[in-house]
Amino acid sequence: MNQVWENVAVALVCFLFGYLLGGVPNGVVIGRVFFKKDPRDYGSHNSGGTNSGRLFGKWIGVLVIALDMSKCIIAFWVIWAILRFSGLRNVVSLWDDGVFYNWLAPLGAGLGHCFSPYIRFKGGKAVACYMGMIGGTSWLGFILCWLSFMPLFLRKRIVSAASLISGGILCLFEWIMFLLVRFANVPGEIFQWNFGAGGGLNYGWESASVVTIIYALMVIRHQANIKRLANGEEKPLTWPSK
């Protein structure tokens, strides 16, 4: 019974760490500190990088996107490093050898980004966190993020359409890699950023499940965009050059 409660405690700590980190509203912080404006009061009323770029300029938009991506990346690798090097495995018999907990942190970060505890549980639409989670854990995923998103975006410069389509491609990619690793013995760990150096990193059901949850959340958060896309009313991205 002690092992059950110990694993529950570890799971909660991993998730809450990710959630509190992911909840940091970078667009709101930068807007209020440097521009005395809140991006939620303008445009799409969203706190993410796309709306921040519309209000503060393209480089601020890029900065906010990069910071939002880093939340999932930091959440994942901090928990991975703790479980890998702290000796916790010698104290607690971790379920799934701790691999599942690696992914609870970015799951928490994605949910925190969308439902931030710092801004009354409002937030972004999960795109940057989603890309950060996939590209920040795997160099192959990083390449595919660019190859799936940029051609779609550059064609019509509609962020929502490019995000949803590329997100679906990436979700499918995660499940294909899981099946190849599980049933075809493909050495998926070499495609991670640690190049198979250990710590339980591979394309498993854990990563595929978390990616699917965040992608589903991303689709839900884009319901208004999907309606505008269906009606041909979604506008292309335009950022001021300042």
CA distance 217 to 135: 18
Of the ranges 141-155, 166-180, 196-210, which one carries the lowest mean pLDDT score?
Answer: 196-210
- Looking at residues 8-29, what average pLDDT do you find? 95
pTM for this prediction: 0.92
Question: Is residue 242 very low, low, confident or very high in pLDDT (cuts 50, 70, 90)?
Answer: low
Residue boundaries of the structural domains of the chain: 2-230
What integer pLDDT is reported at residue 135 of this predicted model? 95
Distance CA 160, CA 223 (A): 10
Q: Helices 99-114 and 58-85 sit at what angle, rounded to 10 degrees?
A: 150
Residues 144-170 have a mean pLDDT of 94
Q: Which residue has the higher pLDDT, 89 or 125?
A: 125
Query: What pLDDT does residue 73 have?
Result: 95
**Are 141 and 104 a contacting pair, CB within 8 Å?**
no
Residue range 39-60, pLDDT digits in tens: 988 888 888 888 899 889 999 9
Q: What is the pLDDT of residues 85-115, one digit of tens each?
A: 888 877 888 888 888 999 999 999 999 999 9
User: Does pLDDT of 180 surpass 70?
Assistant: yes
Q: Which tokens is 44 given?
A: 């799409």
What per-residue confidence (pLDDT) applies to 115? 95
Tokens at residue 226, please?
A: 């999907």
What's the confidence (pLDDT) of residue 224?
Answer: 93
* Residue 187 backbone class (left: φ over 0; alpha: ψ -120 to 50; beta: rest): beta
pLDDT at residue 90 in the model:
75
Task: Give the residue among 79, 78, 106, 107 at the shortest CA–CA distance from 94.
Answer: 79
Dump the DSSP string for 68-105: HHHHHHHHHHHHHHHHHHS-HHHHS--GGGGHHHHHHH
* 123-132, 152-161, 195-204: segment of lowest average pLDDT: 195-204
- Residue 22 has phi, psi (to 5 degrees) of -65, -25
Q: Higher confidence at residue 55 or residue 226?
A: 226
Reply yes or no on whether the pLDDT at 200 is more than 90.
Answer: no
Query: What Å distances lie between residue 220 and 3, 9, 13, 225, CA to CA?
Result: 36, 30, 27, 10
Output the pLDDT for position 241.
Answer: 67
Residue 140 has a CB neighbour count (10 Å cut-off) of 18
The overall average pLDDT reported for the chain is 92
Question: What's the rounded Cα separation, in Å, for the pair 155 and 19?
Answer: 34
Q: Residue 197: which pLDDT band, with cuts at 50, 70 and 90?
A: confident
User: What pLDDT score was predicted for residue 199?
Assistant: 67
